[in-house]
Amino acid sequence: MKELVAAVQKAGYKNVYLMEKRYATIWAGATLLSMILEVLKTALYTLNWNSWDFMLNLSESNFPILSMVELEFHLAKSKGRIFLGNHGYDTARFIQKQGLEYVFMQCENRMWLLMKRLTICFSL
């Protein structure tokens, strides 16, 4: 992989960087957030990449189904937008769908359901 990154950079693309640390990013795991925060911190403070419009989190299982031309076209139309959304106004439904009424623990690259929460903190 390092050879591929070196070849891409040698071809003139300086905005490609390979993170050394690996994360087991699993459903509902905190490691996905930890990984994204580490990537952004590295991009901004270590690499001094201050002039970019989008950050895409791609893994081997979710490479884009659009061609590069199509992806660039859609992203160009969306500068200044964030592709994150809130859960809307039905908080109870959101809590149920996300499993927030349960206690999970991430261990050995798996999420374990431990128990139903006794109370839910709504002041987050």
pLDDT category of residue 121 using cuts at 50, 70 and 90: low
Is it the case that residue 76 has pLDDT exceeding 70?
A: yes
Q: 111 forms bridges with which residues in the sheet? A: 106
E-assigned strand segments in 12-80: none
Q: In sequence order, what are the residues at sequence separation of 6 or more whose Cβ sits closer than 8 angstroms to the Cβ of residue 7?
A: none
The mean pLDDT of 27-56, rounded to a whole number, is 84
pLDDT category of residue 122 using cuts at 50, 70 and 90: low
- What is the C-alpha separation between 18 and 90, in angstroms, rounded? 40
- pTM score, whole prediction: 0.61
Is it the case that residue 73 has pLDDT exceeding 60?
A: yes
| pLDDT at site 46 | 92
- What is the C-alpha separation between 56 and 33, in angstroms, rounded? 13
- What is the C-alpha separation between 112 and 23, in angstroms, rounded? 18
Q: In sequence order, what are the residues at sequence separation of 6 or more whose Cβ sits closer than 8 angstroms to the Cβ of residue 75?
A: 53, 54
Single-letter amino acid code for the residue at 52: W
Tokens at residue 33, please? Answer: 């957030």
